[in-house]
Amino acid sequence: MLVNRKLVLAHFWLAFAVFGFALFLGAWQMFVRSPLYTWISNPEWYYRSLTAHGTVMGYVFPTLVAMGFGYAISESALKQPLVGVRWAWTGFWLIVAGSVMAMVPVALGRASVLYTFYPPLIGSAFYYIGVVLVVVGSWIWVALMSINLRVWRREHPGEPVPLAMFANVAGSYLWAWTAVGAALELLLQIIPVALGWRTTIDAGLARVFFSWTLHAIVYFWLMPTYIAYYTIVPRAIGGRLYSDTMGRIAFILFLVVAMPIGIHHTFADPQVGAGFKFIHSAFTALVALPTLLTVFTICASVEIAARLRGGRGPFGWIAALPWDNPIMLAVAFSFVLLGFGGAGGLINMSYQLDTTIHNTQWITGHFHLIFGGAIVIMYFAIAYDLWPHLTGRALPTLSLVRAQLWLWFVGMIVTTFPWHWVGILGMPRRMAYYDYSDPAISPQAFSVTLSAIGAFVLLISGLLFLYILATAHRQPATDAGAYRFSVPVHPVRTVPLALNSYAIWVALMIGLTITNYAYPILTLAARSDTSVPAVYVGAQ
Amino acid sequence: MSARELFTFRNPYFSAGVGLAAGLFVLTALGGFIVLPYAQTELKFAGLWDAICSAAGLPQRSASVPTAKVGPRLSEAVLTPTMLARPGQESIGRGATLAQRCAICHGPTGISRADSPNLAGQYASVIYKELLDFRSGARRNAVMSPFAVDLKDQDMADLAAYYAYLPRLPAYHPTPQLPRPRIVIYGAPVRGIAPCGSCHGSLDNKTGSPWLEGQSEAYLKAQLQAFASGQRTNDISQQMRNIARAMTPQEIDEAAAYYASQPAEIVKTTD
């Protein structure tokens, strides 16, 4: 039962529109810093574009997808109209206002600080306030998801929460808590300086605050993708979910262990003690658990579908899968990209191995592979799956959809594999210009060129995606029926209270944040000698 | 559904969750705070507590580490981009009076005939910082240092305000404009050299970095060489020393000649 289709469509369309815009910037950046182009001469243009690309792709796009998908899940999984529709629109418009407010100073070159802020670099206050508005808008969504679940529980006491909604609310709680780090950084450190109330900033403390957000935000991006794995894929390919319990445990694990690991982003920072770096490194290893559980469960679910379709033998069933089904294709691509990205992630999380690739192009390659690859390809799948239910019209042609997914998959590999490679060779990230005529880096010119070509393949795929969604609105009307989620092999009748609620897990999430973050933050905050003069963007 | 039912060790999910999390934390803390510090044989600790404090990141001076050798005096100037912005008329006037004794080298209009820097229209923060450094001894020059010794902070701020206020004029011995050499446009990224303009004004200005257009070629060259040899040390964090050391003598010549041939009027204003 999807009542507020306009609300969901508004979130998705805004998300995909800004995604298309940021995709252009990304391809342009890949082009101008590749050997295919001489040089833009003014690196400021590059950083301006990079800031816009990162801010849109990191904050606006995935947040809107999670919100739109979250509203759709709340209505169709709980089978009740959304409570607080007016608030949901308020959240949406806050994000619109925040995005415009942040993007204007970026476009004017007053906030070329990259989306990770990089204090003591300080840009226009409007940029940061815009980002805060985006986060506040998304917090309204967090509250609404919690309220809608509460309303449902009141009417269905003791019943198991549908897995899609359980995961959705887990994702929203994770986001609520992880965004606190960046919010503290912005409100306590950066915005007072950007407004001119202070001229010095504790860059080290600000970076620790940001690391609080920076890793768990990836798991917030990941949530819609994992929800799609568990609750869309088995149904879409005609199978059953292998285990509902496994799904709950995976989402609970994400909630608990995604938070206390962010300091692995500051392995090279002197202001954090080596002991805490080690603890965070070890805890980072734990996030492989929910992913491994998921890969196992989804492969098992897919096998069930294949055997139902007559697949035989230990591997013969793979051929029996519905490979012409876009969702099947998307999940296969997503798993391949997740596998490579996860393997690279093992290098990043290891305190010692990280030193070889820290701040190199490897890192950029890694997060594009995981986020742009494994995660975003499932955003496409979610949109394709939901679109007929939102528009009341079927998708134009499935062959175009398949071509789009193939292009994205190939494009992502062509873009990110050479990117990792030049990172191993030592090419630093965040640079607007490389002198390819220099003998030291001329051997990397080929890899960078290849990577830039991949970026254009991605751009074509992204535009094709927008084209498919847009033309779907003009198809003849059809009745897509009620939106359903996958059904587990064993019907879920009762679920232990612990796997049907969040109290223990939220408490553990906060507890581990305190054990792993309190000391580094408090000692830095208590010291008086750690602030440095702010460096204002464009100031002379 | 009550909290009492959930938060009890009779609930296997609670005991497993809390037990595993606490166990892991204790285990990794033992590893990070005790095993790893002692595994690094080059680190010497006074005791267990010392090792734990070190791993926690508590700044401390170990007795076994010899204190750093005292090097040349470093710049103590602390500048922010807005520090000297919008000076009053009185400050500029006082600066003009004080500047009379600078005119012998830097010229009555702030344009030098003596291969000293042209100061007319230079960024205020630059003049202020260099005066501070001459006074503290972070920068030394047989002629200039005695002039700075007796200046008060306010005098320096006034001088900075006055020279920043003067209009930029063509250099005294202008040469035909030269094309931009490679080192100025691109720097040398592989050697860690940024394009000159990324600090010195044509692309961006970093507080404390002067614009260079129309300055004396001999002066620019001498300063680059002084940075490269380590004679001049008042660049904070060795920014200029690192760059000058990595430049070839030919690149130093090219950069100095190029900037000397540029008209000062093209420099961006400060606001």
User: How confident is residue A181, by pLDDT bands cut at 50, 70 and 90?
Assistant: very high
Q: Is the pLDDT of residue B63 over 60?
A: no
At A336-384, the pLDDT tens digits run: 999 999 999 999 999 889 999 999 999 999 999 999 999 999 999 999 9
A418: three-class secondary structure by DSSP = helix
Catalytic annotation present for A420? no
The mean pLDDT value of chain A amounts to 94
CA angle A97, A103, A108 (to 5 degrees): 135
Q: Give the one of A434, A520, A540 whose C-beta lies nearest to B270's C-beta.
A: A540
Q: List CB contacts of B213: < 8 A, sequence separation 6 or more.
A: B201, B259, B262, B263, B264, B266, B267
Shortest Cα distance, chain B CAs vs residue A189, angstroms: 17
Instruction: From the candidates A296, A417, A429, A436, give the one annotated as an active-site residue.
Output: A429
CB pair distance less than 8 Å for A273 and B268: no
CA–CA dist A131, A183 (Å, integer):
9
Q: Which residue of B has its CA nearest to A427?
A: B190
- The yes-or-no answer on residue A207 being catalytic is no
When pLDDT is cut at 50, 70 and 90, the band that residue B161 belongs to is: very high
Q: Are A199 and B82 in contact (CB < 8 Å)?
A: yes
Question: A428 has which bridge partners?
Answer: A360
pTM of the model: 0.86
Q: DSSP 3-state assignment of A333?
A: helix
Choose the mutation target among A279, A494, A513 for the interface with B, i.e. most B CBs under 10 Å.
A279
Q: Which of A110, A207, A265, A368 is catalytic?
A: A368
Mean pLDDT of chain B, nearest integer: 87
Cβ-Cβ contacts under 8 Å, A495 against chain B: none
State CA A57 to chain mean position distance. 8
Q: Answer yes or no: A429 catalytic.
A: yes
Q: What is the pLDDT of residue B271?
A: 39
Q: How crowded is residue B122: how many other Cβ atoms within 10 Å of its Cβ?
A: 25
The pairing of strands A535-536 and A121-122 is parallel
Tell me the nearest-neighbour CA distance from A383 into chain B, angstroms. 35
- CATH number for the region B79-169 comes to 1.10.760.10
Cβ <8 Å between B57 and A535: no
Residue of A153, A240, A309, A430 with catalytic role = A430
N-to-C CA span, chain A: 58
| B28: nearest CB among A278, A441, A523 | A278
Cβ pair B13:A511 closer than 8 A:
no
Q: With contact defined as beta carbons under 8 Å apart, do A65 and A59 qualify?
A: no
| Residue pLDDT, tens place only, A36-59 | 988 767 788 999 999 999 999 999
Of the residues B9, B27, B33, B251, the best mutation for testing chain A's interface (the one with the most A CB atoms within 10 Å of its CB) is B33
Domain ranges of chain B: 12-56, 79-169, 173-271
pLDDT of residue A431: 87
Q: Which two tokens stand for residue A482?
A: 């009620």
Domain segments of chain A as ranges: 5-536
Q: Nearest by CB to B36, which of A278, A497, A516?
A: A278
CATH code matching the domain that covers A5-536, chosen among 1.20.210.10, 1.10.3720.10, 2.30.30.100, 3.50.50.60: 1.20.210.10
pLDDT of residue A335: 97
Contacts of A44 in chain B (CB under 8 A): 203-204
| Residue B121 to chain A, least CA–CA distance (Å) | 13
Catalytic residue from among A229, A367, A380, A485: A367
Q: What is the pLDDT of residues A432-472, one digit of tens each?
A: 888 888 788 889 999 999 999 999 999 999 999 999 999 99
Clarify whether A153 is annotated catalytic.
Answer: no
What SS3 state is found at A31? Answer: helix
Domain B173-271 belongs to what architecture?
Orthogonal Bundle (1.10)
| Catalytic choice (A235, A366, A389, A420) | A366
Contact between chains at A275 and B58 (C-beta distance less than 8 A): no
Q: How confident is the model at residue A400 (pLDDT cuts 50, 70, 90)?
A: very high
Per-residue pLDDT, averaged over B113-118, amounts to 90
Distance in angstroms (rounded) separating the CA atoms of residues A383 and A305: 22
Does A505 contact B17 at a Cβ distance shorter than 8 Å? Answer: yes
pLDDT confidence of residue A492: 92
- Give the closest of A44, A157, A283 to B203, CB-based: A44
- Annotated active-site residue A215? The verdict is yes
A268-285 pLDDT per residue, tens: 998 999 999 999 999 999
Among A330-334, A349-353, B185-189, B237-241, top mean pLDDT goes to: A330-334
Task: Express each pLDDT in B164-203 by its tens digit.
Answer: 999 988 776 667 888 889 899 888 877 888 889 888 987 7
| Higher local confidence (pLDDT), A85 or B5 | A85
Whether pLDDT at B270 is above 50: no
In which band, very low, low, confident or very high, does the pLDDT at A226 lie, cut at 50, 70 and 90? very high
Rounded to a whole number, what is the distance in Å from the CA of A273 to chain B's nearest CA?
A: 3
Q: Is A366 a catalytic residue?
A: yes
Average pLDDT over residues B59-84: 70
Q: Do domains B79-169 and B173-271 have the same CATH topology?
A: yes
- Are the C-beta atoms of A123 and A537 separated by less than 8 Å? yes
Which of chain A's residues have a Cβ under 8 Å away from the Cβ of B24?
282-283, 286
Alpha-carbon distance B30 to nearest alpha carbon in chain A (angstroms): 9
Closest by Cβ to A279, choosing from B6, B32, B186:
B32
Of B17, B57, B203, nearest to A508 by CB-CB distance is B17
Q: What percent of chain A has pLDDT over 70?
A: 99
